[in-house]
């Protein structure tokens, strides 16, 4: 096992990784920007290195500074966390070339899944159902229209280098397609430096369901169940739960075994997630995330597997050492993302936390680097805390969530806690009846 790990991230996820390292007796190095000198993950690390000024380009995305920090502290391995450099294949390769272990998948696997057209082709090869669409990048309007006729309108134009929903355009007929294709191509070029665009059948009311996977790169792959991430706005997830209220055991089994079979064939190493759209009993691959995700704790709660510990063990060359039959799924878990945002318009609300009291008790987990007196900096993602609640059934979990939200005190800034309190009281949500557009409708209704 490693003696010292450098954590190339900030905030709650850096703290989460710091905890897993300390649980395993591994020393940690926190790298931080000047804005994060007083952060809790920095305070709790064994060593710290300031890698630059607040803008991410100058610090958390500054590859030479991070590699230098690893060299001067004598770290064995680097955990990229999520966001920032976590899905940057060049970074993964540079880490390896400098003699450190990258705690994640192979650079090649990151690269393949980072290109959405290549990823989709790979999904087909791996036996995962994909949304019917154009076989590759569209050449011209005529071939796009021909593809659309085969699939049937409406069709969705997607940027190959996009992802996260950026650069998508909906076309209802030939005329719209002719108008939108050049627009999509030039926007893709401007936004991602690659003008490849492809099209797919448009699913009007799908759910976003993803399967959590762990592979050791030595032949063993397990899944940790699915997560329903349909509650989102502007492609930002707000609340996630597992199990999905939409799946029965038969479809869940098909979904998870398809994902595991694909990753066995792929030879995947580390934690990864395959995202699906699910509608009318059918599921379709949309993309794969080759990193730890924000919502990983709910999968940990129902499976009992510490995913970051497994990532560390796998990166150190240890085999997983357990199989699917050793994992027993129990109960229900929900994560609420608490953002430093104004509830009315979701604009960021950075500032000093004047009072802080986190909820607790059985089945309540708070992953957060907040503390009283902490100043939430304005430069980064607004996620400041994750409230994760677990209980034996979904109904009990909702009840516990309501209780935990009421206990949570964060003053001095505005947060999304009141939004979560409204969501748990909603009848559709309580019944598990929601799709990817539900939250935007809910917000529009009540202003
Ligand atoms: C779709 C879709 C409907 N039909 N593809 C958005 C993120 C990107 N990764 C895939 N996305 C979508 N792809 C087809 N063929 C609807 C979405 C979509 C979405 C997907 C998951 C979660 C939230 C979403 C919000 C809007 C649109």
The values of phi and psi at residue 384, to 5°, are: -120, -15
What pLDDT is recorded for position 356? 98
Instruction: Dump pLDDT digits (tens) for 200-248.
Output: 999 999 999 999 999 999 999 999 999 999 999 999 999 999 999 999 9
99-103, 188-192, 418-422: segment of lowest average pLDDT: 188-192
Task: Kindly state the DSSP code that residue 55 receives in the 8-state scheme.
Answer: S
Q: What is the pLDDT of residue 136?
A: 83
Tell me if residue 139 is catalytic: no
Is residue 200 within 6 Å of ligand 1 at its C-beta?
Answer: yes
Contact 316, 392 (CB under 8 A): no
Q: How far is the CA of 379 from the centre of ligand 1 (A)?
A: 28
CB 201 less than 6 A from any atom of ligand 1: yes
Residue 362, CB-side half-sphere exposure with 13 Å CA sphere: 5
Pairing of strands 4-7, 77-79: parallel
Among 342, 339, 337, smallest CA distance to 414 is for 342
Cβ contact 274:213 at 8 Å: yes
DSSP for 60-94, please give it. Answer: TT-HHHHHHHHHHHT-SEEE--SSTTTT-HHHHHH
Return the domain boundaries, the chain.
Answer: 4-103, 132-201, 207-446
For residues 191 and 368, which has the higher predicted lDDT (pLDDT)?
368
147 in Cβ contact with 158 (< 8 Å): no
3-state secondary structure 110-157: HHHHHCHHHHHHHHHHCCCCECCECCCCCCCHHHHHHHHHHHCCCEEE
Burial class from Cβ neighbours inside 10 Å (0-12, 13-18, 19+) for residue 272 reads buried
pLDDT digits 0-9 by tens, 4-26: 999 999 999 999 999 999 999 99
Q: What is the mean pLDDT of residues 96-102?
A: 98
How do strand 269-279 and strand 409-411 relate by DSSP bridges? unpaired
The tokens 């300031």 sit on which residue? 50
Over residues 47-75, the pLDDT tens digits come to: 999 999 999 999 999 999 999 999 999 99
Residue 403 reports pLDDT greater than 70? yes
Q: How far apart are CA 181 and CA 298, in angstroms?
A: 39
Write down the pLDDT at residue 161: 80
Q: From 156, 246, 286, give the residue whose CB has the most ligand 1 atoms within 8 Å, as the site to mutate.
A: 286
Q: What is the pLDDT of residue 158?
A: 92
Round to whole Å and give the CA distance between 386 and 140. 45
Residue 271 Cα to ligand 1 middle (Å): 23
Question: Which residue is associated with the tokens 């958390």?
Answer: 60
Residue 388 pLDDT class (50, 70, 90 cuts): very high
Look at residue 184 in the predicted model and tell me its pLDDT: 94
**Per-residue confidence (pLDDT) for residue 231, from 0 to 100:** 98
For the domain made up of 4-103, the CATH class stated in words is alpha beta
pLDDT score for 361: 98
Which SS3 state, helix, strand or coil, does residue 365 take?
strand
Task: Look at residue 410 and give its three-state secondary structure.
Answer: strand
Tokens 């510990």, residue located: 309
Regarding the beta carbon of 396 and ligand 1, being less than 6 Å apart is answered no
Instruction: State mean pLDDT over 425-446.
Output: 96
pLDDT of residue 343: 85
Residue nearest to atom 11 of ligand 1 (CA): 165
- Check if 436 has its Cβ closer than 6 Å to any atom of ligand 1: yes
For the chain, give the percent of residues with pLDDT over 70.
99
Q: What is the DSSP string of 176-207?
A: HHHHHHHHHHHHHHHHHS---EEEEEPPSS-E
Asked if pLDDT for residue 286 goes beyond 90, the answer is yes
* Nearest residue by C-alpha to atom 14 in ligand 1: 202
CA-to-CA distance for 394 and 254, rounded, in angstroms? Answer: 22
Catalytic member of 16, 252, 291, 337: 291
The pLDDT score that the predictor gives to residue 164 is 64
Q: Residue 251 half-sphere exposure, CB side, CA atoms within 13 Å? A: 16
Q: How high is the pLDDT of residue 447?
A: 54
Give the model's pLDDT for residue 117.
84
Nearest to 70 by CA among 12, 22, 27, 14: 27
| DSSP SS3 for 38 | coil
- The pLDDT tens digits for 142-184 are 999 999 999 999 999 998 887 667 779 999 999 999 999 999 9
What's the pLDDT at 287?
A: 93
312-366 pLDDT, tens digit each: 999 999 999 999 999 999 999 999 999 999 988 999 999 999 999 999 999 999 9
Find residue 403's DSSP bridge partners.
none
Superfamily name and number for 207-446 = ATP-grasp fold, B domain (3.30.470.20)
Does the CB atom of residue 169 touch ligand 1 within 6 A? no
Structure-token pair, residue 259: 């994902």
**CATH architecture classification, 132-201:** 2-Layer Sandwich (3.30)
Pairing between β-strand 207-216 and β-strand 269-279 as defined by DSSP bridges = antiparallel
At a CB cut-off of 8 Å and minimum separation 6, what does 269 contact?
105, 106, 109, 215, 216, 217, 314
Give the C-alpha distances (Å, rounded to integers) separating 214 from 146, 244, 314, 331, 428: 40, 19, 9, 20, 33
Averaged pLDDT of the chain: 97
Dist. CA 165 → ligand 1 center (Å): 6
């Amino acid at each position: 096992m490693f003696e010292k790990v450098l954590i190339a991230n900030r905030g709650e996820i850096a703290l989460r990784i710091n905890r897993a390292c300390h649980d395993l007796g591994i020393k940690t190095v926190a790298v931080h920007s000047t804005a994060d000198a007083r952060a809790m993950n920095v305070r709790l690390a064994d060593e710290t290195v300031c890698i630059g000024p607040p803008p991410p380009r100058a610090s958390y995305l500054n590859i030479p500074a991070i590699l230098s920090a690893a060299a001067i502290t004598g770290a064995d391995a680097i955990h990229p966390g999520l966001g920032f450099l976590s899905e940057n294949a060049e970074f993964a390769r540079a880490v390896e070339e400098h003699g450190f272990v990258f705690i994640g998948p192979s650079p090649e696997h990151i690269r393949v899944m980072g290109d959405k057209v290549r990823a989709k082709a790979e999904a087909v090869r791996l036996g995962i159902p994909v949304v019917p669409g154009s076989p590759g990048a569209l050449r011209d309007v005529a071939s796009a229209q021909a593809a659309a006729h085969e699939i049937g309108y409406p069709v969705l134009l997607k940027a190959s280098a996009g992802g996260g929903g950026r650069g998508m355009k909906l076309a209802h007929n030939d005329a719209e397609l002719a108008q939108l294709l050049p627009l999509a191509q030039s926007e893709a070029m401007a936004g991602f430096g690659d003008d490849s665009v492809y099209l797919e059948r448009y699913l009007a009311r799908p759910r976003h369901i993803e399967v959590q996977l762990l592979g050791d790169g030595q032949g063993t792959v397990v899944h940790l169940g699915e997560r329903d991430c349909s509650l989102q706005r502007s492609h930002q997830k707000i609340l996630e739960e597992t199990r999905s209220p939409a799946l029965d055991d038969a479809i869940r089994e098909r979904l998870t075994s398809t994902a595991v079979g694909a990753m066995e064939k792929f030879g995947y190493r580390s934690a990864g997630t395959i995202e699906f759209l699910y509608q009318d009993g059918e599921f379709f691959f949309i993309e794969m995330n080759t990193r730890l995700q924000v919502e990983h704790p709910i999968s940990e709660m129902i499976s009992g597997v510490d995913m970051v510990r497994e990532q560390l063990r796998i990166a150190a060359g240890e085999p997983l050492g357990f199989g699917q039959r050793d994992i027993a799924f129990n109960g229900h878990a929900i994560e609420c993302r608490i953002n430093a945002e104004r509830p009315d318009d979701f604009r960021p609300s950075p500032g000093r936390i004047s009072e802080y009291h986190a909820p607790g008790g059985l089945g309540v987990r708070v992953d957060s680097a907040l503390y009283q007196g902490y100043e939430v900096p304005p430069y980064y993602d607004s996620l400041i805390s994750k409230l994760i609640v677990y209980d034996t059934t979904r109904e009990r979990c909702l009840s516990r969530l309501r209780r935990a939200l009421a206990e949570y005190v964060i003053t001095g800034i505005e947060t999304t806690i009141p939004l979560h309190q409204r969501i748990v009281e909603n009848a559709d949500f309580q019944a598990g009846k929601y799709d990817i557009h539900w939250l935007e409708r809910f917000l529009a209704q009540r202003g």
